[in-house]
């Protein structure tokens, strides 16, 4: 899904099971749907002069193809879901992604089961946001825009 595409697009990439947001374990993940997240982030980015491309896939290979397809985006917000734990191929694709990206988790993964406490992708991210519900997507997008704007101002000097 592409929303208000510009040459300054951010990628919103969501992994396994995140397409069921709004109905999946609402006590953990809330009732906001992925479509609502996409709309909110798109509006936030549009106000800053950026567009949004959004993809959600349940398979690791599809996520990797999406990263390759959107290499021209200026940044990415990535919720790898459970692939954070053992998604080594996704990790390698994220290592090759040429723009800054932030990892987002709706729940505080470190307050949950111990198997969720280690991420193979986190060391590659410019930042990690976890535990703020779907608002974490907005926080990540804002942080990336600020980073992009700061870098642009630095280049202009």
Structural domain span for residue 92:
2-156
| 147 marked ligand binding residue | no
Instruction: Indicate which CATH number applies to the domain containing 106.
Output: 3.40.50.9100
146 assigned binding-site residue: no
The pLDDT, as a whole number, for residue 28 is 86
Residue 53 scores a pLDDT above 80 = yes
Residues 82, 17 contacting (CB under 8 angstroms): yes
Structure tokens at 42: 């798109």
Assess whether 105 carries a catalytic annotation: yes
Q: Provide the mean pLDDT of the chain.
A: 91
> Which residue would you say has higher pLDDT here, 100 or 153?
100
Q: Is 91 annotated to bind ligand?
A: no
The answer to whether 119 is annotated as binding is no
Query: Pick the catalytic residue: 29, 50, 97, 137?
Result: 29
Structural domains of the chain, count:
1
- For 92-122, write each residue's pLDDT tens digit: 999 999 999 999 999 877 666 666 667 888 9
pLDDT of residue 152: 87
The single residue of 50, 57, 70, 105 carrying the catalytic annotation is 105
pTM higher than 0.85: yes
pLDDT at 4: 47
29 is an active site residue: yes
């Amino acid at each position: 899904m592409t929303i208000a595409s510009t040459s300054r697009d951010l990628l919103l990439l969501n992994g396994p099971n995140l397409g069921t947001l709004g109905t999946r374990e609402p006590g953990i993940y809330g009732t906001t749907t992925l479509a609502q997240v996409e709309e909110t982030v798109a509006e936030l980015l549009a106000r800053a002069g950026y567009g949004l491309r959004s993809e959600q896939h349940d398979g690791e290979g599809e996520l990797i193809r999406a990263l390759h397809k959107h290499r021209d985006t200026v940044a990415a917000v990535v919720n790898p879901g459970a692939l954070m734990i053992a998604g080594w191929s996704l990790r390698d694709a994220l290592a090759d992604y040429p723009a800054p990206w932030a990892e987002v988790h709706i729940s505080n993964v470190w307050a949950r089961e111990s198997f969720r406490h280690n991420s193979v992708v986190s060391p590659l991210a410019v930042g990690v946001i976890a535990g703020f519900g779907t608002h974490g997507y907005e926080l990540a997008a804002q942080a990336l825009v600020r980073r992009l704007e700061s870098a642009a101002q630095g280049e202009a000097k």
